[in-house]
Structure 1
């Protein structure tokens, strides 16, 4: 039997329900702010709007300077690109049972001049499309309104809200802030969108990026072919070894692409490189993949020379007893609301990986339902704005009253 709502909890749920029109309006406004491709003006604008709302609840905002990211990452920062800060809005209370860290990201994947730039509501009012509507501006709307509803009905909670601006690019700038905040809280709740069928992710693979550079010797293909050393051939041999690693046995999730090499068809290529991504279930598999990649490198004096660089920045997020206890607590609140909350595992990664790796039990798909992430058909199920805000508000109220119990 699902637990029954207390009178105060029912009051909280009604308060969230009344916010439906305001939530849609916030989503419309926030989706229209371009926050992709490290677009500083848009990120600053949205960060300012959200932190102001949280400060109105009594939170104190700290901007944590970002850390530099490796410059060899694919799509990584250029030398003159600004490093965005991470905002931490804290309203901690000693009287509450749990210190909760909420986490969301402001950034999306669409360029500021992309024509996919506004929220468009379907004629039946059930869904809408727009850049970042589900990943994850809808999740930010959910969290802000849940906190405001708790304040409205007088339920005191102890929370901090971390808003970073580089999650879509790997959270390299905000990694230190995520780890530091994880150590200061008891529970982590992130508003990444729900999985495809509305599931709560209870386990995630880890993720790492790598780059393989091959250096050869240029020569004219017609006049001095034998004097050349092809970097493309050397890179191709390395890629074949990566493919063998992926194929197994046992098989591993390792992908290569994109790649570049050579300058002209009549020149033996002097340089070539490729980028790749690896996914792994645990530290043992992570180490195995790392060793296999490192083994592709040659001595500095070799010709051709192969250089391997890697950055395994998202640790695996296993279903620990504490994570499962938190997920079950969330499911109990969902059932009290008449909502289903199935569990699932995913190969996707997010800031929840980093938070849990730093010691914080975290569930990270408490955001809205929808689909088409990172595409120009990204869509949101609009009813999930209120439903997920009710779930989050109820979960925060429970954690304020009693600490997480792990069997």
Structure 2
């Protein structure tokens, strides 16, 4: 088991690893690289164990079991654990781990998730090493986000061994429904938001962004994600009268007008509004999940109803409010004989808006990378990442930084993989960064 092996490792002093001559690591920080490397096999074994337990978002028992395994791994490091049951949202719950430090340094919120997109009926269920590349581990959720949990465990274990964890005030929130959030969302994310109000800094431990050239990036901003439903209506009548004052244009023409005006008149930087499903005719009804539309009609009958549902992604609250107003204004310009209604969902992910404090935190991480002799991280384009749990707390903390976990690929698909050496690399970066944050006075 991880806990026994980890305890054995921590019983031995860790020698300082070789670092570049120009590095400005403190004596305690110099012990971190060797501490990370000493437990590499242990952390990889732990990753294999949790990957081999199915924790699809709807697998309540599986998510709870992984939560218990994680709890048993972190408690020897001095964390107290609390399981937040989420039966009222139809999900398993969340694991909150707390480390009480000196109370003087930056309060850190570390965010990840226990669940995966792979439910028990998926054929993709087991962890394995790529026979052609032993650095590549394949398995459901191995990168998203069980690899992130492995980075957390490796970093915090190294801090413990190096003596830098003691002063650190840390809360870890590992949600059990990130891939398919429970409803209502204000309940499902209530405890995460409470932790965000407590924290000074938030760090998101989902996958590291890496470009085609292998260059690594940090994420200082993420767009929102919400859904909308557009319903248009017209006068059902014989098609020979279409476009006339008496019969009007019908629901489908009104739908097309609105969608095309959005496309041509509302587009701007970092904004997307996708149409995911659409149907229209004499009748058109969308199901309770908003995923399927049943419609029927005849070629000689003007369409009476049309329905479309899609997604909206914005970078800031201001952009979100402005875009919604523009979309509604276009909706109100009805063609003759038609009407339209646009409704935005209440259960959406907010934006992690860019701010200079986030960029400054990335700068601190790059200083850490330089001191460790590792490459610096660039600033990732927010339009290239989806929404995430860190967005719920970014407005409350002084600074937030996402994408702090592993390098991998094929997320959400059979063949998902993680590059194992990225666990070690990221653990070193994050352990030193958190060690420094723990010593920075609160504002």
1:279 has 2:298 as partner:
no
1:107 counterpart residue number: 115
Kindly tell me: are residues 170 and 217 of structure 1, through their superposed partners in 2, closer, same or farther at Cα, counting changes over 3 Å?
farther
2:151 counterpart residue number: 142
Kindly tell me: are residues 31 and 234 of structure 1, through their superposed partners in 2, closer, same or farther at Cα, counting changes over 3 Å?
farther
Tell me by how many angstroms 1:100 deviates. Answer: 1.0
2:417 counterpart residue number: 379
SS in 2 for 1:26: helix
User: Normalised by the size of structure 1, how large is the TM-score?
Assistant: 0.83
2:276 counterpart residue number: 257
For structure 2, list consecutive stretches of 5 or more residues without a partner in the other structure.
1-20, 241-245, 282-294
Please list the CA deviations of residues 131-183 of structure 1 after superposition, one character each: whole Å capped at 9, or x if unmatched: 22222110111102222232234331221101112333468354332322111
Kindly tell me: are residues 219 and 85 of structure 1, through their superposed partners in 2, closer, same or farther at Cα, counting changes over 3 Å?
farther
Kindly tell me: are residues 214 and 344 of structure 1, through their superposed partners in 2, closer, same or farther at Cα, counting changes over 3 Å?
same
1:192 counterpart residue number: 206
1:78 counterpart residue number: none
Instruction: Give the counterpart of 1:119 among 101, 114, 127.
Output: 127
Structure of higher CA gyration radius? 2
1:202 counterpart residue number: 220
1:326 counterpart residue number: 361
For 2:236 and 2:127, how far apart are their aligned partners in 1? Answer: 52
1:9 counterpart residue number: 29
- Farther-moved stretch of structure 1 (226-235 vs 391-400): 226-235
Check whether the contact 2:28–2:163 (CA below 8 A) recurs between aligned residues. Answer: no
For 1:142 and 1:159, how far apart are their aligned partners in 2? Answer: 15
SS in 1 for 2:122: coil
For 1:221 and 1:36, how far apart are their aligned partners in 2? Answer: 49
For 2:56 and 2:170, how far apart are their aligned partners in 1? Answer: 27
Check whether the contact 2:57–2:177 (CA below 8 A) recurs between aligned residues. Answer: no
Kindly tell me: are residues 377 and 292 of structure 1, through their superposed partners in 2, closer, same or farther at Cα, counting changes over 3 Å?
farther
For 2:270 and 2:194, how far apart are their aligned partners in 1? Answer: 35
Kindly tell me: are residues 127 and 95 of structure 1, through their superposed partners in 2, closer, same or farther at Cα, counting changes over 3 Å?
same
Number of equivalent positions: 390
Kindly tell me: are residues 359 and 12 of structure 1, through their superposed partners in 2, closer, same or farther at Cα, counting changes over 3 Å?
closer
Instruction: Give the counterpart of 1:27 among 47, 64, 75.
Output: 47
- Farther-moved stretch of structure 1 (379-388 vs 48-57): 48-57
Tell me by how many angstroms 1:194 deviates. Answer: 0.8
Kindly tell me: are residues 118 and 286 of structure 1, through their superposed partners in 2, closer, same or farther at Cα, counting changes over 3 Å?
same
Please list the CA deviations of residues 281-315 of structure 1 after superposition, one character each: whole Å capped at 9, or x if unmatched: 3333212211123335569xx97543322145322
Tell me by how many angstroms 1:66 deviates. Answer: 4.9
Tell me by how many angstroms 1:260 deviates. Answer: 3.9
Check whether the contact 1:59–1:89 (CA below 8 A) recurs between aligned residues. Answer: yes
For 1:329 and 1:67, how far apart are their aligned partners in 2? Answer: 40
CA RMSD of aligned residues (A): 3.4
Please list the CA deviations of residues 185-222 of structure 1 after superposition, one character each: whole Å capped at 9, or x if unmatched: 12111111111232111233333322223355778989
Check whether the contact 2:200–2:397 (CA below 8 A) recurs between aligned residues. Answer: no
For 1:218 and 1:84, how far apart are their aligned partners in 2? Answer: 47
Please list the CA deviations of residues 21-49 of structure 1 after superposition, one character each: whole Å capped at 9, or x if unmatched: 12222222222233334322222221222
2:6 counterpart residue number: none
Find runs of 4+ consecutive structure 1 residues off by over 6 angstroms.
217-222, 226-229
Question: What does 1:176-325 align with in structure 2 at a 5 Å threshold?
Answer: 176-196=190-210, 197-215=215-233, 231-247=251-267, 252-262=271-281, 263-266=295-298, 271-295=305-329, 304-311=338-345, 313-320=349-356, 322-325=357-360
1:335 counterpart residue number: 370
Kindly tell me: are residues 21 and 351 of structure 1, through their superposed partners in 2, closer, same or farther at Cα, counting changes over 3 Å?
same
For 1:112 and 1:260, how far apart are their aligned partners in 2? Answer: 32
2:16 counterpart residue number: none
Tell me by how many angstroms 1:252 deviates. Answer: 4.0
Check whether the contact 2:112–2:174 (CA below 8 A) recurs between aligned residues. Answer: yes
Please list the CA deviations of residues 94-152 of structure 1 after superposition, one character each: whole Å capped at 9, or x if unmatched: 35522111111222223331122222312231212222222211011110222223223
SS in 1 for 2:191: helix
User: Normalised by the size of structure 2, how large is the TM-score?
Assistant: 0.77
Kindly tell me: are residues 324 and 341 of structure 1, through their superposed partners in 2, closer, same or farther at Cα, counting changes over 3 Å?
same
Instruction: Give the counterpart of 1:163 among 160, 167, 174.
Output: 174
- Farther-moved stretch of structure 1 (37-46 vs 179-188): 37-46
Instruction: Give the counterpart of 1:90 among 69, 74, 98.
Output: 98
1:369 counterpart residue number: 407
SS in 2 for 1:314: coil
Tell me by how many angstroms 1:246 deviates. Answer: 4.8
